[in-house]
Amino acid sequence: MTGFPRSPRLTRAGLVLIEPGSGAVRRIVALQYAAETLSRRLSAQAVEGEGARAHPLRLTGPAVETITFEAELDATDQLEFPDSNAAAVETGLFPALAALESMLHPTVAQLERQGAQRRSGSFEITPVETPLALFVWSRSRVVPVRLAELSITEEFFDPALNPIRARVSLTLRVLSVADLGFDHRGGGLFMAYLQGKEALAARAAAGQLGELGLGGLPA
């Protein structure tokens, strides 16, 4: 048996880390198993304060969008073929988990530069800039994000206590032009994401007033 050649090829979801300036890809974090559910929360950026009553329909910027989902990592399949998966045999899921965790930490080199600035008496410590992260969930959803929260549950371990199965829960904050600006590479990617939403909305089936029990709108 050679498998099922007509079986559909499954597309993985994941995160792509790129250099904001050059756009060069630094790392691709592919999620081994796509989540069964994905939650999104959108909050309108509307006029607030005294102007809210005078301009109830005006928006000050794109909605604030938060994406939350859970994925599963499992090294069992790799351990069945140890000769071709030396890293999994030696360290289990530690590399995959570290790749996700690195999105929340400055690098050692960046921390050392900040330490040098403090020792030299610098009045202003340069904030650390991370790579730009793109969340990829199909061709219709490629959007710049910041990893806001990561929760890891390690479930099974090998004899050396390397994790071989884990569940990860990620909370992503979509970065819009309000966060990045129009000239930032991520800002352009967000505009493409928003443009794609508008194109998809145009393809949605149009409803009829009669379906809502109305013959027309009230005067």
pLDDT digits (tens, 9 = 90+) for 96-136: 999 999 999 998 998 998 888 888 887 777 788 889 999 99
**Whole-angstrom distance between the N-terminal and C-terminal Cα of the chain?**
70
Cα dihedral value 194, 196, 202, 207, nearest 10: -70
Evaluate if residue 149 carries a pLDDT over 50. Answer: yes
In percent, the amount of the chain with pLDDT more than 90 equals 53
Question: What are the DSSP E strand ranges found in 47-197?
Answer: 59-74, 132-136, 142-157, 163-174
Q: Which long-range contacts (CB under 8 A, 24 or more apart) does 116-124 make?
A: none
Residues 50 and 16: beta-carbon distance below 8 Å: no
pLDDT at 82 (0 to 100): 85
Question: Residue 41 pairs with which residues in a beta bridge?
Answer: 66
Evaluate if residue 155 carries a pLDDT over 70. Answer: yes
Q: Summarize the confidence of residues 54-77 as an average pLDDT.
A: 89
Question: What average pLDDT does the structure give for the chain?
Answer: 87
Residues 168 and 99: beta-carbon distance below 8 Å: no
pTM for the structure as a whole: 0.84
Residues 135 and 172: beta-carbon distance below 8 Å: yes
Residues 47 and 58: beta-carbon distance below 8 Å: yes
Residue that has been written with the tokens 């969340």 in this structure: 135
Q: Summarize the confidence of residues 173-200 as an average pLDDT.
A: 94
The tokens describing 165, both together, are: 């199965």
Q: Which residue has the higher pLDDT, 94 or 49?
A: 94
